[in-house]
Amino acid sequence: MKINKKLRSALVTFAIVIIAFLVCEAGIEGWVDGFKLKFAEKGLLVPICCYIVLAVSLNLIVGISGELSLGHAGFMSIGAFSGVVIATWLEKAVLTINDAGKTVPFFGDTAIIIITIIVAGALAALAGVVIGIPALRLRGDYLAIVLLAFGEIIRNVMNCVLVAVDGSTMHFALKINESSAVGFGQGMQMVINGAQGTVNKVTSAAFNNERFIIGFGLVIFTLFVVLNLINSRSGRAIMAIRDNRIAAESVGLNVMKYKMMAFVTGAALAGMAGALYGLNMKTVTAVDFDYNMSIEILVMVVLGGIGSIRGSVIAAAVLRFLPEKLRFLNDYRMLVYAIVLIVVMLATNSPILKNFWALLMRVKPLRVAVEWLQALPGKVRAAFSFGKNKNGKAGEAQ
């Protein structure tokens, strides 16, 4: 069977993610002697999964749909905060009696996290619809600025939200100034405490392999959705609108519909990542999700290559891991990080380095070797294909 180029590229992306996951699992479980992940490294795994999802979903909006968004952290924030509330409610309200006659949460931890991720994703999608309908009518820089403002509005609103739980009842309030909402939540367990952020009592902050597996599952799900979307009727429409809006309209594509589709899908995935992120931390605060975080995600997308899903996956993982690896540099850590970033940007955009490969190919022995290697799969296939009808049309092409 002929595997087409797009499918092969998608399979390679999945393979990279799965292999990376297995290597991490080996390091966690100690499958191989002498290879064990350090405590700090393990702590990075779930956030890395979240950032991969964020980068891929932002790439759907920026790279595939071609709309610059500077407010992606806003959707993550919605996912993170609503996630903690949903998870708390699931734990408190949906109870069952176990064998020992005790009342316990109906759901296990894993189920709570998965349900929470799904619901939080739906809420972020809703926010995507609400913000997308007016904002996507704007183009280019104007859209970017509106989305930047959206991210900041979410941050400021989340800074004022108070949520407490009393038994299984949730209480909500807005703390607009010092005198409002005084005495709110007295004697109750706080879930979101304004500027102090979330109080997550559902999941422990310690590294938990199950949560990492959920994170891995979320990455796979995201890749599945985004790659399949790209290689479908809707995805082609999204990219056609990006490449040439007038031509796309002239063949009957509904521009708003497909811009919304990419935007809302991106928002939903970001919300899902946010929910997992929020549940993985003891506490997250609204200021965590400011425009710096939106920019950080955008850097991952740009570094990995705008429109390249695999690039986003790799860039997100590397950029989250790098600062950890640079820890030995102490105070110079972020400086070196920034320099590495600049160098990589320059290198990937430099025509000299782009031509490096072409230059190498001028060396005859190398060229012969590479050509031989490239021809190898074909030779192998030819050797194993029996009785295939070969009325090739190659001669007729010109």
| Residues making contact with other proteins (CB under 8 A) | 224-225, 228-229, 232-237, 239-240, 243-244, 246-255, 261, 393, 396-397
Q: Is the dihedral of CA 242, 243, 246, 251 positive or negative?
A: negative
Token pair of 289 as six digits: 């999700």
* Closest to other proteins by CB, 232 or 350: 232
* Closest to other proteins by CB, 71 or 307: 307
Token pair of 207 as six digits: 């590294």
* Closest to other proteins by CB, 54 or 241: 241
Q: How far is the CB of 66 from other proteins (least distance, A)?
A: 12
Task: Specify whether the CB–CB gap between 271 and 121 falls below 8 A.
Answer: yes
* Closest to other proteins by CB, 102 or 233: 233
Amino acid symbol at 32: V
Q: How far is the CB of 207 from other proteins (least distance, A)?
A: 32
Query: From CA 274, how far away is CA 74, in angstroms rounded?
Result: 9
111 sits in the region (left: phi over 0; alpha: psi -120 to 50; else beta) called alpha
Q: How far is the CB of 253 from other proteins (least distance, A)?
A: 6
Query: From CA 48, how far away is CA 44, in angstroms rounded?
Result: 6
Q: How far is the CB of 310 from other proteins (least distance, A)?
A: 17
Q: Write the CB contacts of 87 (distance below 8 Å, at least 6 apart in sequence).
A: 112, 113, 116, 200, 202, 203, 279
Task: Specify whether the CB–CB gap between 147 and 117 falls below 8 A.
Answer: no
Q: How far is the CB of 62 from other proteins (least distance, A)?
A: 16
247 sits in the region (left: phi over 0; alpha: psi -120 to 50; else beta) called alpha
Please identify which residue in the block is written with the tokens 């809302």: 264
* Closest to other proteins by CB, 138 or 225: 225
* Closest to other proteins by CB, 176 or 246: 246
Q: How far is the CB of 224 from other proteins (least distance, A)?
A: 8
Task: Specify whether the CB–CB gap between 60 and 73 falls below 8 A.
Answer: no
Q: How far is the CB of 248 from other proteins (least distance, A)?
A: 7
* Closest to other proteins by CB, 141 or 396: 396
Query: From CA 360, how far away is CA 235, in angstroms rounded?
Result: 37
